[in-house]
Chain A
Amino acid sequence: MEKYVFIIGATSDIGMAIAEKYAREGYDLLLGARKSERLLPAQSDLQIRFGIRCNLLELDLSQTTTLAAVWNSLENKPGITICVAGFMQDNDEVLRDTSATLQTIESNFTGPVTLLNAIALDYMKNGTGVIAGFSSVAGLRGRQSNFIYGSAKAGFIAYLSGLRNKLFHHQVHVLTVLPGFVYTKMTAHLSLPALLTATPAQVANAVFTGIRKKKNVVYVKWFWKWIMCIIRMIPEFMFKKKKL
């Protein structure tokens, strides 16, 4: 389906903003989330305001063995998949708590990869489709303040890069989104530098444009590209002494 978008992790602020952007552009939506009944108000809202069709899909990314089946059981499959799912907790707490560690890796890496594999195979077979995955600038270099989340996101960056390479030969486009700081519920307690922080609506616009223009990697605020470029160039013997 050309104008049908699947959003994985739609209850997040960014997920909602992307849903609204695509609805405004006239796309039908499939919103996937855990406890998807929480999306009933969003479903009515998007349908009434934009006159599109919006379907909900119960999706638990920690149930990795069932994810392929969930996708394959869909009668009508969206041609664009955007994976926003992700989860960040305080790094020191995650370090001490095994279940939090596994949950971090699952929701940021294992879950998305398992589900996207099934979707990628489908798109590959049909020779058409778009996959956009949300990683994080935290995945570009492990820092002491969030390296468990960051390492899962790093794995996801590598996955998306390889997937892009593989699917390129099958006319399927893959976009990596590295949003930097975003004003959301997840970051509401942090005081973020205004210049480096995007609103969910700006992220949604960047994703929409990135997909339309077949970009490979999108940073929402352009300076992030250069900041991360510098951070990545710091030699390890210096970097390890920093409190970042």
Chain B
Amino acid sequence: MIEIKNLHKSYEIGASSLHVLKGIDFSVEDGDLVAIMGSSGSGKSTLLNILGMLDTSDTGTYDLDKIRIADMDEKKAANYRNKFLGFVFQSFNLINYKNALENVALPLYYQGVSRKERQKTALNFLDKVGLKDWADHLPSELSGGQKQRVAIARALASNPKVLLADEPTGALDSKTSLEVMALIQKINNEGKTILVVTHEHDIAKMCKRIVHLKDGVIVEDKKIKQNVIKNV
């Protein structure tokens, strides 16, 4: 599904340059659930942003579902993001004046799906994350866990190939974190490829594979026995 070869990325900071990614080789199989771990400054967020086409690499190749992601203008990148990728953020990033249903329907709007279809699909996904009854609530009326579930529903709504989650449980307490990870496992079990960036070991252990980043290189990449969450 994802194929990355010799990826480099550096940021110009004034006169000096900061080499963040120093040659990443990395691939993800269809239906995998990968945790990307590393301390702050290890380059894990940069990698995720490049995977999410929110940022570009300096050198190296990136193929997403056999499509070469390179030399894209903003417009093309936006279309690819919309079609191929779903994002889940630490700070939820819901639009605060739109209710849960409208938030979930937004990526469909940018896909050009008709209004009726949008509403129907969005409601389906809200149902899937267990928030059908909260459809007309604003984000400010939802708890942190509910917000993240709405965000996950939104990320799924456009039926992306890959779900990218950046510290999805970073702003949640441990019980709610479990709920959200249980949902992520459920979606993964249905076949969706998911990448989770986290620095919490117990969260990482709920995935199927852990990739360790340190100082811009992958230091460890191993399959693990998934800690499956039951009875939340």
Report if A and B associate in a common complex: no
Q: Which residues of A contact B (CB under 8 A)?
A: none
